[in-house]
Amino acid sequence: MPGRQEGSAHNRGHALHSQATGKPRKIFYAVLIIVPVLFFVLLEAGLRLFNYGYDFTQWVEPVDGKYVLNPGIAHKYFYDMRNVPYSNGDIFDERKKPNAFRVFVLGESSAAGYPFTPIGSFSRYIQQRLSLEYPGSKIEVVNCSMTAINSYAMLDMFPGILREKPDLILFYAGHNEYYGALGVGSMESFGTSRTLVNLVIYLQQFRTFQLLRNALRDIAGMITKKEAPSGTLMARMAQNQYIPLNSITYRKGIHQFESNMHDMLEMAEKQHVPVILGTLACNLKDQYPFVSVKDGTLPPADKIFLQAREALSENHRQAADSLFRFAKDLDALRFRAPTEINKLILNLGKEFGYPTVNIDSAFDAASPDHIAGDNLMTDHLHPTLQGYQLIGKLFYRVMERNNLLPKSKPLDLSDVQQDSAAVASFPFTGLDSVIGEYRIKLLKNDWPYIDKKDKIPDDRLIRPRDFIDSVAYELVEEKISWEEAHVKAADWYLSRNNVKSFLATMNVLISEYPIVTNYYDYVANVLLQLKDYDTAYYYLDRRDEMGPSAFATKYLGIIELSRGRTDRAEKFLNESLKLDSSDAQVWYNLSGVYVHKENYAKAFQMVNRALAIRSDYPEAIALRRQLQEAVK
């Protein structure tokens, strides 16, 4: 018994010792965990407080109640690239209106409308056609496409797009899967692991991670002293330049595209959001392969391309088409999507039950010899303006066939009438055409079109012929912005009394920046001076829809008065006075409203208010004399 007592005492002592040491040990471990976590929380808060790095909030508000894709979001996908791309800046309502029809477009440069960005894309055609055909709906076509991105960036943006309640999502993507940001052959790459790449994209939202990446980049730069790549974005993005057909890197690119697209379509399916997929067109007939390689198992691309030309010269069109496609697939510089990408797009459409648009086949059908070439392509894969409008028309037809259109009542127009109206009203000017021409000249004056040693200086390559050409040249040389270029062009046209070209250029600006109220006021003021009141009314009315404006309501009232619509004139003029009661002209015209209504006493009061503000107002003085007799 004594032994048991001793053991019990020993156990109790051990328990007391454990209790005494266990609590401090737990506190010690807790502190070890909490301190570093707290450090990083405070560091992140501090970096945000001092505005370090980039804010990657997907949607930002340029004005209250409107959203636009964050202009700096591309920094999330481009790590070591200067002059990162940006989207077309399409605006939509923060709160979706009941009558809204909202379409999102996802893709790369050929979906963004290059070389006619930001206004040449097929999404602009769809916007125009929907707006014309469904005047009772608020049409919002938001193009989130950007140059040099691929399915990784699209996958990252996709949940944010779904949150904005799209009625339809359109895909035209796949050309950039190898050399686009974070692609398997890109200089902006983290390897081939999708898990790692998507993790890095996720971590980019934290300023602490951005700080760490920037520090590592700076250290690496000091060690390697590597010069920043120069040239076009196309030339700068291709790191692992040669990717032979069916090589390991080639297969990884295919897997990357299929997996990312599958994830996006699965998300859309779960939320019951309609999607339309488009196959990819490119320049088959007139684009010589960039890089031909011999690996012993496959023929070189240039040899097959020459065989295709020979077959075409002998009028063997079907054989030529197959050979041109094979040559494109053999091209080891993968700027044009291989045939397998289009097969995947068609298969994904079938798997998820989403309609597809066979744009590739349609471009062939619309081309001489039924093989797409320079007739619809500006370069290796970017369509002409006619080509972009054709893509828009093809998507629209599939929207019609699948009843993926606004619910409001459409106008009773045929397909031909709709298409003609959309093309006729497409916002595009001579300046935009020259910009596209110059961009393609610069693109083809760099690798891989030519050897870098053969590059011609820009000022020798491009010789502006007139003022509009010189403005376009300033733009492509990045000396002025797209907006500044169009403002300069509009002012020049106006200075030369070319009102038609002035209006066309201002309409392009308004189409791109519909929330910039100064543009409506500027155009309306010019038209009022020219006494073109009917056209001025159109711009004043659009300006008034955007919010209160003393200027717009004033002249809407004056024009309505001149038309004899006194009730509407009274309404607009009173609205103008609520915003600015010191404008004598408004009081004078309001007096005119009451003269028309034969309320001479009220008219006398109004004209006196006008003269109290401006005593030397001759028209008001004359009107008061007349009214003095009438009110006696």
Q: Are 442 and 450 in contact (CB under 8 A)?
A: no
* pLDDT at 190 (0 to 100): 73
Q: Which residues pair with 101 in a beta bridge?
A: 139
Q: 427 near 124, Cβ under 8 Å? A: yes
Q: CA-to-CA distance for 394 and 126, rounded, in angstroms?
A: 10
The contacts of residue 263 (CB under 8 Å, 6+ apart) are: 155, 158
Are the C-beta atoms of 290 and 448 separated by less than 8 Å?
A: yes
**Helix 151-163, helix 248-270: angle, nearest 10:** 10
Dist. CA 383–CA 606, nearest whole Å:
60
Locate the DSSP E strands across 226-310: 275-278
105's enclosing H/E stretch is strand 100-107
- Please return the burial class of 36, using the count of CB atoms within 10 Å of its CB with bins 0-12, 13-18 and 19+: exposed
User: What strand order describes the sheet that includes 356-357?
Assistant: 138-143, 100-107, 168-172, 275-278, 356-357
Contact indicator for 117, 378 with CB cutoff of 8 Å? no
CA distances, 456 to each of 236, 439, 452, 479 (Å): 18, 14, 9, 19
C-beta neighbour count of 488 within 10 angstroms: 19
pLDDT of res. 187: 74
Beta strand 91-93 with 66-69: parallel, antiparallel or unpaired? Answer: antiparallel
In this prediction the pTM is 0.89
| CA distance linking residue 405 with residue 383, whole number of Å | 25
Dig out the tokens for 484 from the structure: 């500044």
Q: What is the pLDDT at residue 3?
A: 45
Asked if residues 177 and 151 have their Cβ atoms less than 8 Å apart, the reply is yes
The pLDDT score that the predictor gives to residue 7 is: 47
Question: Residue 234's closest CA among 373, 83, 124, 372?
Answer: 83
Distance between CA atoms of residues 510 and 520, nearest Å? 8
Specify the DSSP class assigned to residue 454: G
Ordered by where they begin, the domains of the chain are 59-285+334-424 (3.40.50.1110), 292-330 (no CATH), 427-513 (no CATH)
Half-sphere exposure of 400 toward its Cβ, with a 13 Å CA cutoff? 15
Q: What is the pLDDT of residue 12?
A: 47
- What local confidence, expressed as pLDDT, does residue 28 receive? 60
- Written as one letter, the residue type at 333 is L
Instruction: Pinpoint the alpha helices (H) of 78-121.
Output: 109-112
d(CA 231, CA 455): 10
Residues 6+ apart with CB under 8 A from 508: 119, 427, 428, 429, 432, 486
User: Phi and psi of 128, rounded to 5°?
Assistant: -60, -45
Rounded Cα distance between 386 and 120, Å, is 10
Tokens of residue 417, six digits? 């009438």
Give, in order, the Cα–Cα distances in Å from 255 to each of 27, 245, 261: 48, 14, 10
- At 142 the pLDDT is 98
Pairing of strands 59-60, 66-69: antiparallel
* pLDDT of res. 5: 45
Contact 552, 520 (CB under 8 A): yes
Torsion of CA 530, 532, 537, 540, to 10 degrees: -20
Helix (H) or strand (E) holding 133: helix 122-133
Given 3-state DSSP classes, what are the helix, strand and coil percentages for the chain, each rounded to the nearest 5? 60, 5, 35
- pLDDT number for residue 466: 96
| Cα–Cα–Cα angle for 528, 529, 532, rounded to 5 degrees | 50
DSSP element (H, E) containing 100:
strand 100-107
Residue 233: per-residue pLDDT: 66
For residues 570 and 593, is the Cβ–Cβ distance under 8 A?
A: yes
CA separation, residue 77 to residues 80, 178, 597 (Å): 10, 14, 65
- The DSSP bridge partners found for residue 372 are none
- What phi and psi values does residue 383 have, to the nearest 5 degrees? -65, 160
pLDDT of amino acid 40: 66
The encoded tokens of residue 142 equal 């938001």
CA distance 204 to 213: 9
What is the end-to-end Cα distance of the chain in Å, rounded?
A: 130
Sites in the chain below the pLDDT cut of 70: 1-23, 25-26, 28-32, 35, 37, 40, 81-82, 220-221, 224-240, 631-632
DSSP-derived 3-state class of residue 66: strand
All residues at 6 or more sequence positions from 166 whose CB lies less than 8 Å from its CB, including other chains: 102, 103, 104, 273
Angle at 398 between CA 396 and CA 401, to 5 degrees: 115
Element (H, E) at 606: helix 600-613
